Amino acid sequence: MSIAKELIGYEDVAFDILKSIGAIACCDAHEEYWYRTGELEEKQVYEYATATLERESEYASYTNMKAFHNAIKNILDNAGIDENCPYCQKAFDE
């Protein structure tokens, strides 16, 4: 597996886990828009996500914690801060 594919795999896993622990949520109509829910402090996000990765057997092949934590950081850094989807807002405004 190439490094790029491996990193994309970590991004996908991190995204799924962050959604499952309630750290992020997506617009119902536009999954490409995700936002921080504010339910967890950043330290808790990393702790809960790491625990989930280690606990769930479906993620057993994902053992590179640095890549996983970098994926979490990237997702959180690119998450919206408002649950109001800008794509939906634009459609409502038109």
Domain extent listing, the chain = 3-93
HSE-CB at 8 with a 13 A cutoff on CA atoms is 5
Q: Which residues pair with 26 in a beta bridge?
A: 34
User: Tens-digit pLDDT profile for the chain (94 aa)?
Assistant: 577 777 789 999 999 999 999 999 999 898 899 999 999 999 999 999 999 999 999 999 999 999 999 999 999 999 998 888 988 988 878 7
Q: How far apart are CA 29 and CA 50, in angstroms?
A: 29
Which pLDDT value is given to residue 1? 58
pLDDT digits 0-9 by tens, 81-91 = 888 898 898 88
Which pLDDT value is given to residue 91? 81
Q: Which residues pair with 25 in a beta bridge?
A: 35
Which pLDDT value is given to residue 3? 72
pTM for this predicted structure: 0.88
Specify whether domain 3-93 bears CATH 1.10.10.1920.
yes
